[in-house]
Amino acid sequence: MGSLQKTAVCLLFLSVFSSASNDSFVTFICSDVKTEYNKTATISCFGKNKITNVIVKRCENCNKQNSCLETIINTWRGNNSSEKGRIWLVLQHNVSEVHIQEVKATDQGGYQWHIYSDGGEDTGCATLEIAAPEIEPSLTWNGRKLTCLSPRGHPQRQIHWFDGHGNNLTGSASLVSEEAEGGLTSLTSTLHETPTLTASKYCCAVLYDVHTKRNKTKCLSADKAVTDYPHFTSTPDPEIPKTKKEHVPIILVPIVLVLCCFAAVLYYRHRQRAKPKGIFRPIKDPPSNSETT
């Protein structure tokens, strides 16, 4: 009888231990999210048990230790939102959602979750990726240097230079980065190589993704007319149209010339008519001897 009681106690102990073990290893699944810049992002975690409390920290990277320092949600302290309501938490039984309105470039990274539920607690991490606007760069040439401007985008993007033969000229360029709105940056790259008319083409390529090689390229061409390629050679200034007052002297000149020619013809004819009368004037006969006596 004693052995049966001991066996029953052991079975009860194992059952409790097994139940406790299952509770302590309750799992929640957190999904990665990719959204566009300035849109609303929703990061969610869900499981099979009802969620009671949540702590969410923003991380530089989910796989990087000690990078989760900023706490944005902590329901234990009644903190269900942050940044003046731009980030807020929604709990729906076994689903926990963090909504981020008007996402910025600085929102990109990892979000570490510590979830407490009726069945136990669990941790997880989800990554938020922001697709920043990919604006076409502008390329200018002032006769001494080439400048490429990428006005807005992720700080991680790069600018590369190439000539018409595919040679990489990036080493001859300098880069200036300035902060823009929403955690974006403005990049200005200057190529310190004086372009000449003998160069076929200079291209500025803004690389948005190193892995996919996604980019936008702008070129200046010197040897062919392409719509997107302004010429190195300067075009002559357009002819300024003449006013009516400026046309008057131009019209009067031929009229005066015609009148002068007409007058010259009349004068010549007059001289021609007058000349025979003077040359062939009749000569009187000298008086005879009888008349003289």
For residue range 230-285, list pLDDT tens digits in order: 333 333 333 334 444 445 556 677 787 778 777 777 777 777 776 555 444 444 55
Query: Cβ distance 160 to 171 under 8 Å?
Result: no
142 within a domain of the structure (yes/no): yes
Residue where one domain finishes, among candidates 200, 221, 242: 221
Total structural domains within the chain = 2
How crowded is residue 269: how many other Cβ atoms within 10 Å of its Cβ? 10
Count of residues in the chain? 293
User: Does any domain span residue 11?
Assistant: no
Residues 72 and 149 in one domain: no
Residue ending a domain, among 131, 164, 183, is 131
CB atoms within 10 A of CB 219: 18
With a cut of 60, say whether residue 69 has pLDDT above it.
Answer: yes
**CATH number for the domain that contains residue 148:** 2.60.40.10
| Whether the predicted pLDDT of 16 surpasses 50 | no
142 shares a domain with 102: no
**One domain, residues 90 and 116:** yes
pLDDT at 183 (0 to 100): 83
Domain boundary among 107, 131, 155: 131
Residue 78 lies in domain: 25-131
Q: Flag whether 148 is in a domain.
A: yes
Q: 215: burial class by Cβ within 10 Å (0-12, 13-18, 19+)? A: middle
Please state, for a pLDDT cut of 70, what percent of the chain lies above it.
70
231 within domain boundaries: no
Per-residue pLDDT reduced to its tens digit, 183-196: 889 999 998 765 55
